[in-house]
Structure 1
Amino acid sequence: MAACTSRTREMMGLLRILRHFPQNERLLSTSILRHAAASDGPPKFTPPTKPVIDKTQKEASLRWFLSPEFIPPRQRTNPVKFSVERKDMIQRRKVLNIPEFYVGSILAVTMTDPHVNGNLNRFVGICIQRSGKGLGATFIPRNVVDGQGVEICYELYNPHMRKIEVLKLEKRLDDNLMYLRDALPEYSSFNFDMQPVHYEITGDIPVSPVRRSIKSKNEAKTMMMEHAQKWAEPWRPCDMLKEYDTFSLEEQIFKERAEENTPKNGN
């Protein structure tokens, strides 16, 4: 141990002498110190500092959610346009609280309507589609009212929008629930007086386990045949010449005259 200490002292003395040559000072100093450290033994282990956890941070801010209309489409677009729209959307969100919701969530939307008592119209339904980017973002809730399916396409940043309330936050495996049009009515029927269902803000979004039941094969086949017959000759209702087409009528008249002129047996 004494030999190592004396050797270190000799190297440090040599380093003081070589300081008169600044061009080689850095190279020699690092090499000498490295050699001295290797001769003295391995360096002492220093444990890392413990991370500081801010306990005042709210749990609600731990889950990060970005509304899909903020992401521009994957095509040739003008970045300046979407940048200006994003600033406008952020300013509008300061006035209107747009909550987190997905396709499959049950929403209550309140809009300003001058034709309704109180100038407010409230609609409850399941979100079956979200589309559009930027200020053109839309969503469609669906509900069955008096046995009739009702769908309303709302603009998310419409100035007439008053309130968007999430009655039940959940999502489906599909990004589009348009197939609910062919499903049984109970899968799209919701009470307008439905109370909000409590959910954890920091937990995972629940995925609905509901499996829809499509109409029977015979009903679906009948609907397809009716649809096909409707569009087989779409020009017929607008065909103005069919009123002046007398070819089939002339054939019928000639046939009747021929039957009248033909002598009957026994005459």
Structure 2
Amino acid sequence: MGILNKRAVEAAMAERPTPDIRTGDVVEIKLEVPENRRRVSIYKGIVMSKQNAGIHTTIRIRRIIAGIGVEIVFPVYSPNIKEIKVVAHRKVRRARLYYLRDKLPRFSTFK
């Protein structure tokens, strides 16, 4: 299974290269939304955590929408994700930034 998982990751990386994403990065994800026609929506947020699981690797992104904190889990190697771009990096001392849920919204906001 490990060999199959490694091959699947290599095939996904050949199709669309993925940057080195770490906790604390501010990332911009271009996601293809399957509606009437395939439109691309841009989701920008801070990476709260990363789950390494081979082809099933996920990242949890947090952003503030209309004053309310929203978290979405994205599979990194999903075919619906067209591009992942690291906009900035924040210095963090933790592997999981779940404490941002209890902080003021300004800590999850970025420019």
TM score, norm. by length of structure 2: 0.92
Match of 1:149 in 2: 69
Q: CA 1:116/1:181 → structure 2, altered by over 3 Å: closer, same or farther?
A: farther
- Structure 1 residue runs of 5 or longer lacking an equivalent are 1-80, 192-267
Match of 2:98 in 1: 178
Q: Which has the higher strand share?
A: 2
Is the Cα–Cα contact under 8 Å of residues 142 and 152 in structure 1 kept in the other structure? Answer: yes
d(CA) in 2 for partners of 1:94, 1:132: 19
Q: Which has the higher helix share?
A: 1
AA at the equivalent of 1:136: H
Cα RMSD (Å) of the superposition?
1.7
Q: What secondary structure, in the 3-state scheme, does the structure 2 residue paired with 1:119 have?
A: strand
AA at the equivalent of 1:164: I
Moved over 4 A (4+): none
AA at the equivalent of 1:114: P
Match of 1:187 in 2: 107
| Cα drift, residue 115 of structure 1 | 2.9
d(CA) in 2 for partners of 1:92, 1:140: 20
AA at the equivalent of 1:90: E
Match of 1:218 in 2: none
Is the Cα–Cα contact under 8 Å of residues 145 and 189 in structure 1 kept in the other structure? Answer: no
1:160 aligns with 2:72: no
Q: What secondary structure, in the 3-state scheme, does the structure 1 residue paired with 2:34 have?
A: coil
Q: Deviations over 1:174-221 (max 9, x none)?
A: 000011000010000134xxxxxxxxxxxxxxxxxxxxxxxxxxxxxx
AA at the equivalent of 2:16: L
Moved more, 126-135 or 177-186: 126-135
TM score, norm. by length of structure 1: 0.40
Residues 53-64 of structure 1 aligned to structure 2 (within 5 Å): none
d(CA) in 2 for partners of 1:98, 1:139: 12
- Structure 2 residue runs of 5 or longer lacking an equivalent are none
d(CA) in 2 for partners of 1:170, 1:116: 37
Match of 2:59 in 1: 139
Match of 2:22 in 1: 102
**How many residues are paired up?**
111
